[in-house]
Amino acid sequence: MESFPGQDVSIRISIDSRLDQVHMVGYAVHGICSQLGLGDIVVYQLELAVVEAVNNAIKHAYGSVAGHPVEVVISVNDKRLQFEICDDGETLHFLTKSTGLDFDPRNKTSLPEGGMGLHIMEQVMDDVNYFVRDGRNCLVLGKSLSKRN
């Protein structure tokens, strides 16, 4: 298990705004998180949360148009793991509103086929913050490592 006493380590990844490149971000998140002593399910869910964020940037901020950058910065120290996902596309105001996931499991026609990404991020992470900085949209996903959950 890796530990980072008293220091911050970060890695920066950039992909083009194409859904067929998102798995590369997923592999990076998975690889790093696997070294932190987290369980398989937590590692999976962290990869999932970041993939959801990158998918949102590509599909909604860039309207599924290729040729734009999506940047992911993964930072870790002995207390906290953080993912910052930034794009230069449209600002997604829906990311500032927690909507939950409300449906009747017995009613097939009401089942959601989309709109689950933010709910997943909020369930998995300890904090989710979206803001515009220097004209860029950034979603910051944070997880405390002291809980070791």
Partner 1 sequence: MRIDEVKMGEVLVVKPMDKRIDASSATVFKAKMADWIRGGEKRIVLNLSEVEFIDSTGLGAIVSSLKAMGGEGDLVISNPRETVMSLFRLTRMNRVFQILPSQEEAVTSLSKA
**114 binds partner 1, rule: CB under 8 A:** yes
Residue ranges with strand state E in 17-126: 69-76, 80-87
Which of 5, 109, 134, 135 touches partner 1 by CB under 8 A? 109
Tell the smallest beta-carbon distance from residue 110 to partner 1 (Å): 10
- Gap between the Cα atoms of 38 and 24, Å rounded: 20
Residue 11 tokens read as 């890695």
**19 binds partner 1, rule: CB under 8 A:** yes
**127 binds partner 1, rule: CB under 8 A:** no
Q: Are strands 9-16 and 69-76 parallel, antiparallel or unpaired?
A: antiparallel
Give the Å distances, CA to CA, from 16 to 21, 38, 52, 57.
7, 29, 16, 11
Binding site for partner 1 (CB under 8 A): 19-20, 22-23, 26, 40-41, 43-45, 47-48, 51-52, 55, 58-59, 101, 103, 105, 108-109, 111-114, 116-117, 119-120, 123-124
